Amino acid sequence: MSDIDSEMLEVFLTDAEEQLTILENELLNMEVNPDDEETIKTIFRSMHTLKGSAGFVNLTEVEGFTHKLENLLSDLRDKKLKNSPEIIEILFQSKDVINGMINAISTKGEPPDQAKINEVEKMIHDITKTVSPGEDQVEMDEEPSDEDSNKSFFRIELKFRTDVYETGTDPILLIEDLSRQCNVISTTMKIKSVPLLPSLKPFENQLSWKIIVESPKGRKPIDDVFMFAAIDNDISIEMIEEDELEVVEESRIGELLIREGYLDEAEIEEVMDKHMKIGEELVKEGKVTKKIVDTVAEKQEQIRKIQRTNTLRIDTEKLDRIIESIGEVVVVKSRIREIMERKGWMDLEEEATLTELDRYINNLQKDVMDTRMVPIKDTLLPFRRLVRDVAKKQEKEIELEILGESTELDKTITEKIKDPLKHMLRNSVDHGIESPEEREKAGKDPKGKIILEASHQNGEVLIQISDDGKGIDKEAVTKKAIERGLLEEGKVLTQEEANKMIFRAGFSTAEKITDISGRGVGMDVVKDNINSIQGEIDIRSIPGEGSTFTIHIPLTLAIIEGILISVANNRMIIPIQSVVKFLPIETEKIHRVNEEQTIEFQNAYIPVIDLSRQLGFNDGTKEMLIIVQSGKSNIALIIDEVIGKYQIVIKSLEENFKKVKYCAGATVLGDGSVALILDAKSLIRNYEH
């Protein structure tokens, strides 16, 4: 492919992903409300756009399949077909076929099974052939009624966006379609914005049109032609009276004025945009009234005030490089400050300048970080289809409610959270929600409910998956744990222990292996994946009532605020969201319980850990306690001193060195030295185990 082709294909793949997301979500809505006209129209628009885009980049297979699907949707929209579960199922299968085609193009992998494509195409054909093939023609041949025979005239102004071809829309085809629906009286194409040939970009549109038509059936045929184009282009349709038709002569009058030497071509172009001076000339000639000219001019002014919001798609890798560069600037700035302080160069003027630089860097960092933050909606919505399909296989009735779709999260984390959420939802459908018969026996609604909710809390994102199923059966978990050698014979787990047991490697309560569960890859993998993004998960389950899984994850993994501490002459960073409180060491307040050091904190005794010994360092001065938390657990760490608060750029230890126990990464300090970032969560987990 040429560079242009590659760029166009990339645009197509991005657009196709958006259209398929729209299609799937609207199909799920259609399943709930099959006769909603707006849903059907939205699905039709989505497929029409996808078909046009595929045709533009010469993907004939995708274009051909979506064209067949578009015919079915057209019959639904025009009420020639009545919606049914069978049709909805065909639409779901069609979406999967298109998705397979797009994935094959994107990954250059194997295309979907041709037999499956043929099967779905046959189902579409069998449904659409039930519509009388001559029905459309009969409608066209019918004599118009007296009501339809009234002549209506319309002025249509078409101003297409410069990248209109990339959206799969061809203005010429739309105008041709318009000419089949109406009697075109006049078409004026404006070429003022077209650059000279050396600067001409063939893939950019610089043309606009003004068209006057006579429509025997009113405005509806015109609206149908521009139904999709009007979404993101400036399409103005205005009904006019027959005596206004003389206005269409303005271009010819302009030519006459140029020929007679009254105005030059540039002035005529300006006049035509304003619709003023030529209008005055028309008034003088008695071809139109002043009221009409004023109305048209006002309308044109309103159109000019409409502004399009421009968006720019940026590769996340570019943003990652920018953030990394900003991080290096932060390090260099800190180094400059330390050098100036050490050499005694710091006075009020230098301090003020560095403070101002701090502010600018922080603002730049915040702006770049904001560009990485995306609503979690695109991550959560595809799970509606997952729950629907798994529930159908399980012959269960389940409603999935998604809350907090606008919650924003770092793009990198949204990618890494997909698989854990997918597994947990499948687990809720398979193990959590009972069959309709079981639910009725328990006095519940036969239809189960799962709530997937995202929210911000204390500088992190919480994602909760709640179901109203049977909950975690501690007796069943105990039995399976003993069978798998994870628990001693005769021991009985408490509810809390049973909740934690499901995170043990290889644990599963599935009685048989299916494509949904029972393969020995369970919640332990989910927990490991969540831990890998500095997150954690906890469970609350009530037998007979349901379970709630809560995931705590950081907003971003790129730049965080941390507390710099000293431990046995080693400097370390503790992420600020893990820190609860600093305390001076008072030996009389430290007690021994079962050979372990503890301290009273918030009406409970929490463990006290000597961090230097835990990490294998020599003894330090041990003057401070720092209380850190993970979820609902707290521990107190003995350290030497607290140095201050820092903004740090996280560097991966595994990529640059090797994995270090109890450390989540490293950072470069202002003096160029490296400080390890303490992972409070792993310390607490190790103590609890």
The string of pLDDT tens digits covering residues 289-334 is 565 445 544 543 443 343 333 456 677 778 778 877 887 787 788 7
Chain segment 27-71, per-residue pLDDT in tens = 999 988 988 888 998 898 888 888 877 877 778 889 889 988 988
CB 160 within 8 A of CB 207: yes
Q: Which CATH class is domain 559-688?
A: mainly beta
CA distance 464 to 549: 6
Residue 511 has pLDDT above 70, yes or no: no
In angstroms, the Cα distances linking 132 to 1, 64, 121, 136, 492 are 43, 22, 19, 8, 69
The pLDDT, as a whole number, for residue 88 is: 92
pLDDT of residue 80 exceeding 90, the answer is no
Length of the chain measured in residues: 689
* CATH 3.40.190.10, domain 376-554, yes or no: no
| Cα within 13 Å of Cα(148), Cβ side | 10
Closest CA to 427 of 381, 394, 462: 394
CATH fold of 3-129, please?
A: Four Helix Bundle (Hemerythrin (Met), subunit A) (1.20.120)
Kindly give the residue spans of alpha helices, DSSP state H, lying in 564-675. Answer: 611-614, 653-656
Confidence of residue 280 (pLDDT cuts 50, 70, 90): low
Mention the CATH class of domain 316-374: mainly alpha
Instruction: Give 368-384 pLDDT, tens digit per residue.
Output: 878 888 888 888 888 99
**Average confidence (pLDDT) over 526-546:** 85
Classify residue 429 by its DSSP letter: I
Distance CA 13, CA 101 (A): 11
pLDDT at 408 over 50: yes
Model confidence at 194, pLDDT cuts 50, 70, 90, reads confident
**For position 284, what pLDDT does the model report?**
55
% of the chain at pLDDT higher than 90? 18
Numbers of helices and strands, H then E, in the chain: 25, 22
Q: What is the DSSP string of 628-643?
A: EEETTEEEEEEESEEE
* pLDDT recorded at residue 169: 82
Q: Is the dihedral of CA 465, 461, 310, 57 positive or negative?
A: negative
Lowest mean pLDDT among 14-18, 317-321, 359-363, 541-545: 317-321
Query: What does the pLDDT read at residue 193?
Result: 73
Residue among 178, 185, 187 at smallest CA distance from 222 = 178
Q: How far is CA 642 from CA 129, 329, 566, 614, 645, in A?
A: 77, 24, 6, 18, 9
Contact 346, 581 (CB under 8 A): no
Q: What is the largest CA-CA distance in the chain?
A: 108
Contacts of 210 (CB under 8 A, 6+ apart): 155, 156, 157, 158, 187, 188, 190, 248
Cβ contacts of residue 561 below 8 Å, gap of 6+? 575, 576, 645, 646, 647, 648
**pLDDT on residue 10:** 79
- pLDDT for 313 equals 65
- How is residue 415 written in tokens? 């990618």
pLDDT of 100 higher than 80:
yes
Angle at 378 between CA 372 and CA 382, to 5 degrees: 150
Residue pair 542/521 in contact (Cβ under 8 Å)? The answer is no
CA distances from 276 to 267, 299, 300 (A): 12, 12, 10
- Checking if the pLDDT of 152 tops 50, the result is yes
Other CB atoms within a 10 A radius of the CB of residue 675 amount to: 19
- Among 141-150, 178-187, 568-577, which stretch is predicted with the lowest mean pLDDT? 141-150
Question: How do the domains of the chain map onto residue ranges?
Answer: 3-129, 152-263, 316-374, 376-554, 559-688
Between 262-266, 433-437, 641-645, the lowest mean confidence (pLDDT) is in 262-266
pLDDT at 413 over 90: no
Structure tokens at 192: 């003022």
d(CA 543, CA 307): 57
- Average pLDDT, integer, range 217-240: 85
pLDDT value of position 89: 92
- 261 phi-psi bin (left φ>0, alpha ψ -120 to 50, beta other): left
SS3 state of residue 97: helix
Distance of alpha carbon 73 from alpha carbon 22, whole angstroms:
15
Rounded mean pLDDT of 589-610? Answer: 87
What is the per-residue pLDDT for 245?
58
Find residue 190's DSSP bridge partners.
208
Q: How many CB atoms lie within 10 A of CB 212?
A: 20
CA atoms within 13 A on the CB side of 689: 9
Q: Compute the distance between CA of residue 340 and CA of residue 343 in angstroms, rounded to an integer.
A: 5
- Average pLDDT along the chain: 79
- Which bin fits 19, alpha (ψ -120 to 50), beta or left (φ > 0)? alpha
The H or E element containing residue 264 is none
Q: Is it the case that residue 143 has pLDDT exceeding 80?
A: no
What pLDDT is recorded for position 243?
A: 55
Q: Is the pLDDT of residue 17 over 60?
A: yes
pLDDT category of residue 97 using cuts at 50, 70 and 90? very high
Q: φ, ψ for residue 62 (rounded to 5)?
A: -65, -45
Q: Which of 309, 148, 168 is nearest to 214 (CA)?
A: 148
**DSSP helix/strand/coil, 239:** strand
Domain 152-263 belongs to what topology? Answer: Alpha-Beta Plaits (3.30.70)
Q: Is the pLDDT of residue 491 over 90?
A: no
Alpha-carbon dihedral 77, 82, 83, 86, rounded to 10 degrees: -130
pTM of the model as a whole: 0.61
Checking if the pLDDT of 268 tops 90, the result is: no
Question: Of residues 355 and 514, which shows the higher confidence score?
Answer: 355
The band of 287, judged by pLDDT with boundaries at 50, 70 and 90, is very low
Q: What is the pLDDT of residue 387?
A: 92
For CA atoms 15, 403, 31, 427, give the dihedral sign.
Answer: positive
Say which residue, 251 or 131, is predicted with more confidence.
131
Using CB atoms within 10 A of its CB, is residue 660 exposed (0-12), middle (13-18) or buried (19+)? middle
Q: What's the number of CA atoms in the CB half-sphere (13 Å) around residue 471? A: 14
Q: In angstroms, rounded to a whole number, what is the distance separating the alpha carbons of residues 249 and 245? A: 8
Integer angstrom CA distances of residue 332 from 329, 379, 511, 669, 671 = 5, 37, 59, 9, 8
- Read off the pLDDT of each residue in 271-292 and give the average, rounded to a whole number: 49
Please give the structure tokens belonging to residue 113. Answer: 């099974």
Residue 260: half-sphere exposure toward Cβ, Cα within 13 Å: 8
What is the 8-class DSSP label of residue 401?
A: E
| From 172-181, 257-266, 610-619, 675-684, the region with the lowest mean pLDDT | 257-266
- What pLDDT, on a 0 to 100 scale, did the predictor assign at position 276? 43
